Chain A
Amino acid sequence: MYCNKIPDKPVDNEKIWKKLDDLARANSLWITAYGTGCGAIELRPLHTSRFDMERFGIAMRPTPRQSDVLIISGYLSVKTLKRVIRVYEQIQDPKYILALGSCTIDGGMYFDSYNTINILDRYIPVDVYVNGCMPRPEAVIDGFILLMKKIKEGKAVGWKRYKENLEYYRKNQREIIRNWDLPDYNW
């Protein structure tokens, strides 16, 4: 029992509460606890007393249904990309993507690998990049603060871009995932 419908194009009809919504969304970012690459090891210190990201209202959620942010932590192999697409599409709107490390920007030190992607933005819409190999926790916190600022200004609209240009992203995804067996949209 699953739904195979392609999502509707997003419409902008939340004028009244928009200010309050953006403020609440920026101050309560919940992360899907899913480490896609080596950078996931840099997220653990963020919980602990030294960096303490709970003071920004950031928390880890174990399921994509309840979270807002998906962190692509470092290199992304094609096999993981398939799972990332599933997880990303299961997150409820609005959702944001934070990409860590130079591997997500231009391939980084894995630019000539046969199995890792080079440019992440072709396959899923990225809101904030944090560069470095790997970025230290301070840099990740800086990325989060930038994401908060973008949300408050209403500029973090990767999820709208994804729904509007679904065909473009699907085409790029299907090009490199050879055994494509996902439904049209993973609700």
Chain B
Amino acid sequence: MTRLLVSVILTSLGALVYGLLLGGVSRVITASIHGRIGPRLTQNFIDLWKLFRKESSIHHGTMFWMAPMFRLTGGIGVLLLVPIIAGNSVLTNMSFSGDLLLVLYFMFFGCLGMALGAGDSGHPYAVVAVSRGLLQMSAYELSFSAAVLVLALGLGTFSIENIVSAQQGGILNWNVFRFPFATAAALITFLPMNMTYPFNIVLAPQEIPIGPPTEYSSRFLSFMFSGRAIFGVAKLILFVNLFFGGAGSWSSLLIKTFLLYMYPLFVSPVFPRFRTEQSVRFLWFVPTSLVAVDLLRVIL
């Protein structure tokens, strides 16, 4: 029990540091795409500490307090339910106690809490962003769930550990080669999940200035930042486990998550933003029809 607790705390802290570092790397790379020098790699840590130590004298109700916690809980929940390194007895954390369905639920949980809190803040932009976000979520959850269903039907299991072990023994056993269309669909839904550019209608700078966190200040915002960093890392590890053969060692984990993290970074600076209805229409038709190919192949 103590060992589990220690591993849970260490995993969360490690994911936080890794997520913030990845954020720093992404800021530097975006800056060099713009032809700028860009911030320090540790800028996100400085921002986090500053936000944590600022005065926070404003709140708008109970849900307003809880929303950053929901976000953090959603992130840590996904992180703990996914085996980080396959076969490592410590870093599998609590993946014995839940399967993919629970993970899907937790991914929804953080966003839902955020929506409730933003609604409690009462800012009109926050409410607009929440309605957009829930609409978009209903659009991409469809194809992502279908992609997960393809894996479950094809491999005959919902357990992430079994899905990882089914992919061992050669690169051609990875799900990205077994189910290429489902993987493509899941990778498209990875963009709106990370709120990167063609699909960032929720945060939408210059449009509804920053969306849900408009009223969130200092300490609330620092929790939200760390929740987002942890959630980002958890999603990366989940995708590596589901489609890219899992991670057998530290080095393969770092390489795979880093490469997967780079992918939205090179999509986002070259695309403008979709409008809400365009985004929803795209997400309902393109990834869904991609995943339907694999779904039919698995069923027949």
Contacts and interface: CB of A to CB of B under 8 A. Distances in A.
Are A and B close enough to touch in the complex, i.e. CB under 8 Å? yes
Interface of A: 1, 7, 14, 17, 20-21, 24-25, 27-28, 33, 48-49, 52, 54-55, 57, 61-63, 65-66, 68, 92-94, 187
Interface in B22-57: 27, 31, 34-40, 43, 46-47, 49-50, 53-57
B205 interface: yes
Given A24-B46, A55-B37, A65 B215 contact: yes
Nearest to A51: B36
Nearest to A18: B53
Interface string B219-262: 00100000000000000000000000000000000000000000
B210 interface: yes
Contact of B39 (A7, A57, A63, A94): A57
B167 to A, nearest CB: 40
A28 B47 contact: yes
Given A27-B46, A52-B31, A62-B209, A187 B58 contact: yes
B40 A57 contact: yes
Contacts of B34: 48-49
A67 to B, nearest CB: 9
B38 A54 contact: yes
B34 to A, nearest CB: 5
A55 B215 contact: no
A62 B54 contact: no
Given A49-B35, A62-B209, A94 B54 contact: yes
Contacts of B55: 92-94
Contacts of A52: 31, 36-38
Contact of B53 (A7, A17, A48): A17
Nearest to B37: A55
A57 B221 contact: no
B140 interface: no
21 contacts: A1-B60, A21-B49, A24-B49, A24-B50, A27-B43, A28-B47, A48-B36, A52-B36, A54-B27, A54-B38, A55-B38, A57-B40, A62-B205, A63-B214, A65-B217, A66-B213, A66-B216, A66-B217, A66-B221, A68-B50, A94-B55
Given A24-B46, A24-B49, A57-B46, 8 more contacts: A25-B53, A62-B205, A63-B210, A63-B214, A65-B58, A92-B55, A93-B57, A94-B54
Nearest to A67: B217
Contacts, number: 81
Nearest to B30: A54
Given A93-B54, A187-B57, A28 B218 contact: no
Interface string B143-178: 000000000000000000000000000000000000
Most buried by A among B27, B54, B58: B54
A25 B52 CA distance: 11
A187 B218 CA distance: 14
Nearest to A33: B209
B218 to A, nearest CB: 5
B169 to A, nearest CB: 46
A175 B295 CA distance: 72
Contacts of B31: 52, 54
Contacts of A1: 60
B56 A92 contact: yes
Nearest to A64: B217
Interface string B52-84: 011111101000000000000000000000000
Contacts of B40: 55, 57
Contact of B217 (A17, A57, A92, A94): A92
Contact of A55 (B36, B210, B221): B36
A174 B174 CA distance: 70
Given A55-B36, A62-B205, A28 B217 contact: no
B43 A57 contact: yes
**Nearest 7 pairs of A and B residues by beta carbon:** A62-B209, A49-B35, A65-B217, A93-B55, A52-B36, A24-B50, A24-B49
Contact of A92 (B54, B209, B210): B54
B209 A63 contact: yes
Contacts of A62: 205, 209-210, 214
A160 B40 CA distance: 30
B204 to A, nearest CB: 10
B213 to A, nearest CB: 8
